[in-house]
Amino acid sequence: AWEIDLKELTFLKELGTGQFGVVKHGKWRGQYNVAIKMIKEGCMSEDAFIDEAKVMMNLSHANLVQLFGVCTKERPILIITEYLSKGCLLTYLRDTRRSFQATELLDMCKDVCEAMEYLEFKQFLHRDL
């Protein structure tokens, strides 16, 4: 049920690279904005990459990036997630050239805390926070 056909994806632009993969902005079925994470050759085992997707399949919270599906039938393996137009929170805070009101910062903190509380309830540790 989570398998997405590679033909349904359009790759638009690279969003970033990390230790284990590349993330690109794309379209799914020509209409949904998505983030497409692909494993770098030799950086991470395919099993570990698939395990990450399996964990994400069991998580659903308004303050967490939502998994849409995976592409595992061809290489590289892909994880397809919700696209965040403003990027990750850290990048957003660093790149925004304005001062935030205390209430805005508190709302952001509250959202992060709610997501972490949910992950703790699910007995999941978020290692990137």
Residues annotated as catalytic are: 128
73 assigned to a ligand binding site: no
Query: What CA–CA distance (Å, rounded) separates 35 from 68?
Result: 10
Selection from 66, 108, 78 nearest residue 11 by Cα: 78
Q: What DSSP string runs through 76-106?
A: S-EEEEE--TT--HHHHHHH--SPPPHHHHH
Asked whether 83 and 16 are in contact (CB, 8 A), the reply is no
DSSP for residue 7: G
110: amino acid identity, one letter: K
Query: What CA–CA distance (Å, rounded) separates 47 from 5?
Result: 20
**Which segments are annotated as binding site for ATP?**
37
**Which segments are annotated as binding site?**
37
